[in-house]
Amino acid sequence: MAHPFSTYDRQLLTLFYQPLIGPDAMSLFMTLWADAERKIDGEYNHYYLMNLLSMPLGKVFEARISLEAIGLLRTYSKQDMHDRTFVYELLPPMDAKSFFEDPLLSTFLFSKIGEQAYRALRTSYSADELLDGQYEEVSRTFLDVYKPVRSSGSQSDDDENGRLESRNKSGGLPFAYSDFDFNLLRAGLSEQMVPQSALSSVSKRLIEKLAFLYSLTPIDMQKVIMMALDEHLKLPEERLRKAAVDFYKMNISQNVPSLKKAFRLEDKPVVPEPVTREDELLLYMEHTSPRDMLRDYTGKEPLPVDVQLAERLVTVHGFTVGVVNVLLQYITIRNDGKITKNYAERIASHWANKKIETAKQAMEISRQEHDQYIKWQKEGSKKSSGRKPVREEKVPEWFNKPEEQKTSAKEVDPAIDEKRRELQAKLDAMRMEGN
């Protein structure tokens, strides 16, 4: 901690951040804060934190990554010959104005504490807004008061000794949503309808946050931008935020988006050595992106609509990558290579109700509920075409139990066998990278 935190910082942590990160992460931050203020040099074993917090190491680690994800902690690691040491850098919270202007943080706080508490909190920290429209600022700037003076003296000691140590300001919410296609967004917006200057006035990061938060595709975001333009063809950020909310409520859900951990993070994932064929498939499903899985299966680049469906299953339903891969592969094979959104959403809703969290659980429920899923598929086929559904039973390789797979080993399709060899090569490469 480069400089002491203030009482204001403590208020923000307690009222704004604690509902988002939970009591364990809050306890860890306050413990590190108190420890840093003691200004005592030395190293501690992590058992020191475990004893202070009365938490097992796994809980301490989960609290740490929650602080990192919300922008309150930076972690640095160094590997010596026999030991690994860490330095934890505490960051102050964002000020109230910046917090409320961040669409992700403000929306998740709203979903955690409810509308009444949210509005009361916002009102109590918005006293400065009373000045808007009533007073004109007449403060002097630095250049109004001070003028540069040429000096023959040497460079300051501060410059000679290196850069000054600045207060470790919060960099805001660490956020990267690299999958959003800005080229597709721009392609659908003509210069006559949306001037480039208007689009350039909005930060890419805000567009990425709104797209992530409200599950908006580049096509959806085009509509949001059109809704947000004012009469002067300008694109104020406030209007863009409001348009995203309105679009979300009209097209996706009336409920406020809520924060949910989609993945369990680890310092370095420990990947167990696969023993059986199913273990290999599970390893592949859990460590491959849905885009790559579809590309591996079909041999070509997946359709954008299928990739968007995969993103929606992660962001809206909160499924892990492994669960999404099992679901998409099951539907693709059952539906002759096509992914039907309504069929996928129906199965996804069923899995969400059953609290399916791993690829293994997804495989098991696919086997158990197979007859029900066939019925749903036939219902969808009748509604869409009016023709009788195809009776051919197509299922993924993992669908059959190991003993069933052995009895049918002689009837393996050469194309499937080639896919298996490609998958085995990919798994071998993954294991080599992990070693």
Pick 231 or 154 by higher pLDDT: 231
- Mean pLDDT over residues 119-143, rounded? 72
Is pLDDT at 401 greater than 80 in this prediction?
Answer: no
For residues 290 and 329, give the distance between their C-alpha atoms in angstroms, rounded to a whole number: 9
Pick 305 or 28 by higher pLDDT: 28
Is pLDDT at 431 greater than 70 in this prediction?
Answer: no
Q: How far apart are the first and last CA of the chain?
A: 36
- The pLDDT > 70 percentage for the chain reads 71
**Cα dihedral 284, 286, 292, 297 sign:** positive
Query: Closest by alpha carbon to 401, among 367, 352, 377, 428?
Result: 367
For residues 326 and 399, give the distance between their C-alpha atoms in angstroms, rounded to a whole number: 10
Q: Are the CB atoms for 319 and 347 separated by under 8 Å?
A: no
Q: Are the CB atoms for 277 and 399 separated by under 8 Å?
A: no
For residues 240 and 226, give the distance between their C-alpha atoms in angstroms, rounded to a whole number: 9
Residue with tokens 């669409």, as numbered in its chain: 103
Pick 242 or 390 by higher pLDDT: 242
Is pLDDT at 230 greater than 80 in this prediction?
Answer: yes
Residue with tokens 């796994």, as numbered in its chain: 58
pLDDT, tens digit, 9 for 90 and up, residues 171-210: 666 666 556 788 888 887 776 677 888 888 888 888 888 8
Is pLDDT at 405 greater than 50 in this prediction?
Answer: no
Please tell me whether residue 169 adopts helix, strand or coil conformation: coil
Is pLDDT at 119 greater than 80 in this prediction?
Answer: yes
For residues 175 and 177, give the distance between their C-alpha atoms in angstroms, rounded to a whole number: 7
Task: List, in sequence order, every beta strand (DSSP E) within 290-377.
Answer: none
- Amino acid, single-letter form, for residue 290: P
Query: Closest by alpha carbon to 121, among 244, 11, 285?
Result: 11
Q: Give the distance from CA 139 to its chain's centroid.
A: 42
pLDDT, tens digit, 9 for 90 and up, residues 64-95: 999 999 999 999 999 887 788 999 999 999 99
Q: DSSP string of 73-111?
A: EEEEEEE-SS-EEEEEEE-PPPPHHHHHH-HHHHHHHHH
Burial of 324 (0-12, 13-18, 19+ CB in 10 A): buried
**Cα dihedral 175, 177, 178, 183 sign:** negative
Is pLDDT at 28 greater than 80 in this prediction?
Answer: yes
Is pLDDT at 155 greater than 90 in this prediction?
Answer: no
pLDDT of residue 228: 87
Lowest mean pLDDT among 256-260, 275-279, 345-349, 364-368: 256-260
Q: What is the mean pLDDT of the chain?
A: 76
Lowest mean pLDDT among 47-61, 180-194, 262-276, 393-407: 262-276
Residue with tokens 């931008």, as numbered in its chain: 225
Please tell me whether residue 89 adopts helix, strand or coil conformation: strand
